[in-house]
């Protein structure tokens, strides 16, 4: 089993940057693909970015390509989401998740961290 804890959210002005972290427990972190998702009020939870087990492959939603970067450090059991050029529409609760495949179902989820971008 994997437990995930996100951090790094907060309030930032449009055009600013934030880096989210997701710390995972357990010794099998490197066995999981990791993803970041977000959910704004009244909306469904959407895929933002994903990364393969080794970190060699990354995937992004069109809305964040060129602005967000996902990375991982398997030695630290941590996955990151660097968010630049933030827009008010990026405001949401951000969740990290672990699964066997980036494009598959995610089995484990964190509790989420709030990101608010002011205009």
Q: Note the pLDDT tens digit of each residue in 56-80.
A: 999 999 999 999 999 999 999 999 9
- Alpha carbon separation from 69 to 4, 28, 39, 43 (Å, rounded): 19, 23, 18, 23
φ, ψ for residue 29 (rounded to 5)? -55, -40
**27, pLDDT greater than 80:** no
Share above pLDDT 70 across residues of the chain, in percent, rounded to a whole number = 100
What was the pLDDT predicted at 103?
85
């Amino acid at each position: 089993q994997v437990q995930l804890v996100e951090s790094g959210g907060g309030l930032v002005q449009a055009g600013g940057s934030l880096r989210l972290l997701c710390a995972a427990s357990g010794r099998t972190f490197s066995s999981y693909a990791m993803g970041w998702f977000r959910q704004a009020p009244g909306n469904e939870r959407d895929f933002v970015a994903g990364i393969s087990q080794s970190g060699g492959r990354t995937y992004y939603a069109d809305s964040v390509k060129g602005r967000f970067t996902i990375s991982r450090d398997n030695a630290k059991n941590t996955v990151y989401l660097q968010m630049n050029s933030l827009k008010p529409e990026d405001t949401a609760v951000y969740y990290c998740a672990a699964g066997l495949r980036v494009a598959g179902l995610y089995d484990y989820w964190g509790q989420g961290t709030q990101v608010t971008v002011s205009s």
